[in-house]
Chain A
Amino acid sequence: DTAVSQTPKYLVTQMGNDKSIKCEQNLGHDTMYWYKQDSKKFLKIMFSYNNKELIINETVPNRFSPKSPDKAHLNLHINSLELGDSAVYFCASSQVPFAKSSPLHFGNGTRLTVT
Chain B
Amino acid sequence: GQQVMQIPQYQHVQEGEDFTTYCNSSTTLSNIQWYKQRPGGHPVFLIQLVKSGEVKKQKRLTFQFGEAKKNSSLHITATQTTDVGTYFCAGVTGNQFYFGTGTSLTVIP
| B92-A103 in contact (CB<8A) | no
| B45-A99 in contact (CB<8A) | no
Cα–Cα, bound, A90→B88 (Å): 15
Shortest CB-to-CB span from A96 to chain B, Å, is 12
- Is B30's beta carbon under 8 Å from chain A? yes
Task: Specify which of B42, B90, B94, B95 is in contact with A107 (CB 8 Å cutoff).
Answer: B42
- Is A15's beta carbon under 8 Å from chain B? no
| B97-A99 in contact (CB<8A) | yes
The verdict on A103 contacting B43 (CB below 8 Å), with A41-B102, A45-B97 known, is no
Indicate the size class of the contact surface on chain B.
Answer: 20 to 34
- Is A101's beta carbon under 8 Å from chain B? yes
Chain B residues lying within 8 Å of A104, measured Cβ to Cβ, are 33, 35, 43, 45, 90
Chain A residues lying within 8 Å of B48, measured Cβ to Cβ, are 101, 103
The verdict on A101 contacting B30 (CB below 8 Å), with A41-B86, A43-B88 known, is yes
Shortest CB-to-CB span from B26 to chain A, Å, is 17
**0/1 string, A45-75, CB within 8 A of B gives 1:** 1000000000000000000000000000000
Task: Specify which of B43, B92, B95 is in contact with A101 (CB 8 Å cutoff).
Answer: B92
Cα–Cα, bound, A23→B18 (Å): 38
